[in-house]
Structures are given as C-alpha cells and as structure tokens.
Structure 1
Amino acid sequence: MERILVVGATGAGKSTLARALSGRLGVPYHEMDALYFDGPGWAVNGRLAEDVARVAAGPRWIVDSLGYPEVRDLLWGRAGTVVWLDYPKRVIMPRVLRRSVRRTVTREDLFGGNRETWRGWLSREHPAWWAWSQHGSRRREIERRVRDPRFAPLDVHRFGHPDDAAAWLASVGRPWQES
C-alpha cells in the first residue's frame, strides 16, 4: 500500500484511521480539510489543485477524503488502495455530534485557525447537518468510484463497522519506528 485514500461519510473516523495507518506503514498522511481550508472565515485554498497535485504525484501518501470535487479525479486516478469506512448513520451521527460538541465547547483550533461555533450549528454546512444530509449521496459516489474502470485497479477494503476496520488496521504492517 503506497497511495491510499481513506473515504467515508463525515464523522466516520477517516482522519483517525488515516493517521493510525500512516503510523503503522510510515506513509505520509495529508489531511484534506487542512489542504482545503487555509485561513480565517473558512477561506478556501486558492492553490488547492496545485497542492493536491503535488501530494498525488508523490510515490507514497495517505489522504483522508473522497476529495473535494476539483481534485477528486486526480486523487482517485493516482490511488492504489481505498479504505472505505461504510458505516451506517446510527454509527456516524453520535460520533460527529460528540466531536462537534467537544470542538465547540473547547474552541479547538481547526483548519486555517477556524473553530466550530454554537452559531455554526444552525448552518447547513455544519458537520452534523452535513453528515446527516450527505450520507446517502456520499455512499453512492464512493460505490460508483470503486467500480469505475477509470480508477482500476484499486485494492478496496470496505468496512461496515468500526470493529472490522480496527481489526484490519491491527493486521496491517507493524508500527513504524524512525531509525
């Protein structure tokens, strides 16, 4: 596994699994939201396509996202492995709600110095709303992409429950240690 996409709905645990997989394999991890948002007010990185192209051109990487539309095909065209966290809403929603409450209460710094706010909970762009409303369409998009011959051959690991993903992760490589 050299070029890995970790995909799934908002709140599935993509970043957590990607970070752990990076540690086990020693493959550089790139957080897509950190590439996408680059400033206060949730400003979008005007050089996103260039930055992602640079990552995708590398021989080894892990990216934790289906990919934003402007770079989606680029990532999928270079990936060799897809790890799909295909969890139902009943698993995802408690996770995303806990994470958003924690981030809001602690005023955790996120991408580009942004924070989740109580006012933000009223927006359709809020992660909780996004996870609920985009779950089905995100799942269909990933299903379509893993079957798309343009992106073949892909080594796809699809997990319907966090326990299955955790067992697979435990079986992958050995914890990476710097020499």
Structure 2
Amino acid sequence: MKFINIIGTTGSGKSTLAKQLAEKRQLNYIELDDLLWLDDWQESSNDALFYKLKITMENAATGWVLDGLYTRTVPIILGRADTVIWLDYPFHINLYRLTKRTLGRVISQKKLWKNSNNKESLKMMLSKESIFVWLMKSYPKNRKKYFNLMQNPAYQHIQFIHLTSPKQTRHFLDNLRGKSVSN
C-alpha cells in the first residue's frame, strides 16, 4: 500500500482519511480538487489538470495518498494506484457531514484550497449548482461507477478496500501498520 486513492461521494470524508493515512504511512498527500480548481471557481482544462496530476504524482515517487477521482482522471490515477479505498457510506451520513462542513466553511470564509481563492458562500450553497444538488445527483451514479471499477478487469492489479461505515473506517485506520521496509 504505497500508491493509494481514496474515493467516495462528496461529504464521505475522503480528504480527512487521506490526510490521516498519508501521515500514518509517511506518504505524500495529494488533493485532487486543489489541482482542478483555479481562482473564481474556474476549472483547469483537461490538459492542464492531467499535467499537474502527472507531475504531482511523479514528485511523490516514494508514495502518495490521493483524495478524489474524476471520471476523466480514472486512467491516470488507477493506472498507477496499488490500492483504492472506497468510502461507501449511507446517504444520510454524507448529507450530514456535507452540511456540517459547508456551513462551517460559509461561516469561516476560509480558502478551500491552497492554489485558488475559492470559498464557500451562502449564495452558492443555495444555488442550482450547490454541492448539495451535486450530492443528490452523484450519490447513486457514483455507487454504480465504483462497483463497476472494482469489477473492471483493467484494474484487477489494484487492492480495493470497501468501507461502508465511519466505524469500519476508524477500525481500518487504527489497525493499519505504519510504514515499514516490507510494505
């Protein structure tokens, strides 16, 4: 477990687990959203995103934990990952966590990522492009997509770890050994 991708629907806790796992395993943490988003909620072009992703992964040659997976990045990330951890929690858990996180960010007005000026806003939270609308649309689609990835013959070199509750995830993390020479 040296090149790890954390996947799951928004609000599942991908970033939190990725940071904890990177620290425990002494691996580099890569935040996919930070590579995608430019200032003022503009997205990087595919070419720019792919370039930034490849360079970041190459610069973390000793190992990385990457949070997130966009459909367009699947070949790059899963072509290099040896482990995928899927946080597959019930919808109500994701919704609760997303609400708590988003309200906290609206109040704090803290930048979301180091490489852009993006912040959460009440206006955005209540818009048609809201992260909550995204959760409702993407939750069932992501479950199907991730099940299909696990079954895809092209990715059988990957160890898939399917975690279905926060308790199961805590148990996994607590029982994971730190970095060792044989790992």
2:175 pairs with one of 139, 163, 171: 171
Which residue of the partner structure matches residue 8 of structure 1?
A: 8
Distance 1:166 1:132 in 2: 26
Which residue of the partner structure matches residue 20 of structure 1?
A: 20
Distance 2:85 2:71 in 1: 19
The two structures have a TM-score, normalised by structure 1, of: 0.91
CA displacement 1:73-124 (0-9 Å, x = unmatched) = 2101111101110001011101001111111111121131111111102333
The two structures have a TM-score, normalised by structure 2, of: 0.89
Distance 1:165 1:115 in 2: 28
Which residue of the partner structure matches residue 45 of structure 1?
A: 44
3-state SS of 1:156 partner:
strand
Contact 2:32 2:67 in 1 (8 A): yes
Distance 1:156 1:38 in 2: 31
Amino acid at match of 1:64: D
1:99 pairs with one of 86, 92, 101: 101
Amino acid at match of 2:42: A
Greater Cα offset, 67-76 or 28-37: 67-76
Distance 1:109 1:89 in 2: 26
Greater Cα offset, 150-159 or 28-37: 150-159
3-state SS of 1:113 partner:
coil
Which residue of the partner structure matches residue 63 of structure 1?
A: 66
Greater Cα offset, 159-168 or 55-64: 55-64
Number of matched pairs:
174
Tell me, which stretches of 5 or more residues in structure 1 are unaligned? none
Which residue of the partner structure matches residue 133 of structure 1?
A: 137
How much does 1:125 deviate?
Answer: 2.9
Distance 1:26 1:59 in 2: 9
Contact 1:100 1:128 in 2 (8 A): no
Which residue of the partner structure matches residue 79 of structure 1?
A: 81
* Alpha-carbon spacing, 1:173–1:107, altered in 2? closer, same or farther (3 Å): same
Contact 2:106 2:119 in 1 (8 A): yes
